[in-house]
Chain A
C-alpha cells in the first residue's frame, strides 16, 4: 500500500510544480509579459474579463503575491481557467474541449498503431538475429529517429498534395462541410487525417522497434528461454510466451507514458497541417499572446501525462508482484 501512496504523493507534487510554473513564469520574466498582453486587449474585451486577467497575472492588483498564489490555485483547481483572448468571448475550457477530440482521435490511434506494429516488428527482428529484417531495419530507424517530425510533415505535403495532387494539404475537414455524424463528414475527416497520421506513424514507430528488439535480445539469453528450448517447445511459443512476454514489460511503461503524451502529441505536425487539435491550438495561443489559453493547455498536457503514469503504476503493481512486496 505504501507503494501506491508514494505514487499518489508523486502525482500531487508534480501537479503542484506544474501549477507553480504556470503561476511563476510570467511574473519572473523581465517586464511581466502579461502587461503587454493586457495593453493589446484593452478596449476589445469587457471590463470584468480584464479585471479577472489582471488578478490572474498579477497586474495592477493590490493583492499580495501569496494571496494571488492561493486565489490562482483555487481558481485553477475548481476549473475556472478564464476567458480565451484569441477566441473571445469563448471561455478557455470551451476552446480546449473543442480541440481535444481531434488530437485524441488522430494521435491516439496512431500511437496505439505505432506501438503494436513497432513491438511486433521489433520482436521478430530480435528473434531472428542477423536476418535480412534485422540487418536492414535497426540502422534505418536509428537514422529516422533523428529526423525532425515537422520536416517529415513538410516532405509529405511536398510529395502528396503538391507533386501528386492527392490528399489535402491540411486542416481537419473541408470548408464546405457541415459538421455532424454523417457519412460524408466522417469520410472527409478520415481523408484529411491520412497524411498527419502517416507522418506521426513513420516518425514514432522506429523507437518502439529498436527498444523492443534490444529488450528481446537481452531476454533471449535468459535461462528460462534456454529451458523452454530444452523442453522442445515450438519456436513460436517461445518467441511469444517466453521471450516476448517478458521483453515487452519495459516497453509497456513507455507505452503508458506515450499515451499520456498523446494530448501534447505531435504539436509541430498539427501545426504544419493546420490540424485543429490541441497542439495547433497551443501554438495559436502562443502567437496571439493568449496566455490564459496557453497556461491551461500546458496544465492539461501535464495532467494527461501524470494520469497516464499513475494508471500505469497501478497496473504495474497488479502485474508485477515485486513492486508490491518492496518496502
Chain B
C-alpha cells in the first residue's frame, strides 16, 4: 500500500478473527510464538535489540559520541564499520542508538494502544450517542494524513525533545487500533458470558476490565505491535529530516547526520546504510510478530501442509 509514507502499513493485522480464543491468553500466546516460525524469528530479533538497548556497553566499548578517532576511516579491526566524518566510531553509535529508537517505539506504541483500547472499547460498550461521537472522532483521526500532520506539529514545536515526539506519534497512531478494537468489542457484546455477567449484576467497569479485555488480549497485542512498527518508522523519518533532537543518539539521527555530510558521496556509505538496516530489522521484528499473530488468529492463513495437511486442489 502506498497510502501515506508510513502510516497505513498496519493492514496486516486486518481482519482478525479472535472468536475462538478464550481467556488466559498468556500461556497460549507463548505457545503460539514458539510454534510459529515467523513469530519465533520476530521474537528472537526483538530480544537481541532489547539486549543492545539495555547493555550497549557490553558490545560496543568505544564512546559513541567522542570525536577522537581518525576521520571517515574505512572499516578495520579497531572500527568494525569505520568512522564518521567527525571521527566517531560508527559501530558504537549503531549499538548505543538502539536504546532511544526502541524506547520511542515501545512507549509510543504502548500509549497509542492504551488510547485505542480506551476509546474503542468504551465506544462499543457504551453504544448509542457516545458510540457515534467516539466513532466519528476515530474516523476523523483515521483519515487525516498522519505523516504530514506529524511534520507540521514537529515543525511548530522545534526540537521539543522525545516527549513531543512521542506525543505526536500517539496522537496520530491510535485511531486504527481503536476502530479494530471497537468492532471486536461490538461482536462480543451479546455473547453469553457477558450476558451472564450482566445478569449476575457485575459493575460496568468490572465487566470491561475482567470479562471483555482478557478476551481481546491477542488483538490488543497485535495492535501494540502495529503501533510500535509505525512509531519506529515515523520517528526515524522525522529524525531523518532533522525534526527530532539532533543531539540524541538514535538511528534516525545517525541517518540525518550521514545525509547532511553526504556520507554516500564521500565514501562512508556504511554510516547511512547500517542505521537503515537496524531500523529495518527492528521494524521486521514487529512486522513478523504482527503477521504471525494474524496467522494464529485466522487459521485459514496458516501455511498449508503443516498442521492439517488437507490441501485444496
Contacts and interface: CB of A to CB of B under 8 A. Distances in A.
Interface of A: 10, 13-14, 17-18, 21, 25-26, 29, 33, 107, 110-111, 114-115, 129-130, 135, 139, 142-143, 145-151, 154-155, 157-158, 162, 200, 203-204, 207-208, 210-211, 214, 217-218, 220-221, 229, 250, 254, 257-258, 260-262, 264-269, 271-272, 282-283, 286-287, 289, 294-295, 297-298, 301-302, 305-306, 309
A158 B140 contact: no
Given A146-B287, A154-B259, A309-B143, 9 more contacts: A14-B140, A135-B303, A143-B288, A145-B9, A151-B280, A257-B8, A267-B147, A295-B152, A298-B145
B241 A268 contact: yes
18 contacts: A10-B139, A14-B140, A14-B144, A25-B153, A111-B2, A147-B280, A149-B5, A211-B11, A217-B300, A220-B312, A221-B300, A257-B8, A261-B4, A264-B5, A264-B147, A282-B151, A294-B155, A301-B145
Interface of B: 1-6, 8-9, 11-12, 14-15, 38, 136, 139-140, 143-145, 147-149, 151-153, 155-158, 229, 232-233, 236-237, 240-243, 255, 259, 264-265, 269, 272-273, 275-276, 279-280, 282-284, 286-288, 291, 294, 298, 300-301, 303-305, 311-313
A302 B6 CA distance: 16
A110 to B, nearest CB: 7
A306 B148 CA distance: 14
B151 A267 contact: yes
Contact of B287 (A129, A142, A203, A220): A142
A155 B151 contact: no
A247 to B, nearest CB: 12
B264 A154 contact: yes
Given A29-B157, A148-B236, A162-B265, A154 B276 contact: yes
A210 B3 contact: no
Contact of A10 (B1, B136, B291): B136
Contacts of A301: 145, 148
Nearest to B255: A151
Contact of B312 (A129, A143, A145, A267): A129
Given A142-B12, A145-B9, A267-B147, A158 B264 contact: yes
A264 B241 contact: no
B140 to A, nearest CB: 5
B38 A297 contact: no
B242 to A, nearest CB: 8
Given A13-B136, A142-B287, A151 B279 contact: yes
A150 B151 contact: no
A306 B5 contact: no
* 10 closest Cβ pairs, A-B complex: A146-B283, A204-B2, A151-B276, A207-B1, A258-B3, A146-B287, A286-B155, A261-B3, A130-B304, A146-B284
B158 A261 contact: no
B276 A146 contact: no
A204 B288 CA distance: 17
Contact of A298 (B148, B255, B273, B298): B148
A6 B216 CA distance: 30
B280 A146 contact: yes
Contact of B4 (A145, A155, A264): A264
Contacts of B3: 254, 257-258, 260-261
A151 B151 CA distance: 18
A254 B1 contact: yes
A298 B149 contact: yes
Nearest to B17: A218
A163 B312 CA distance: 47
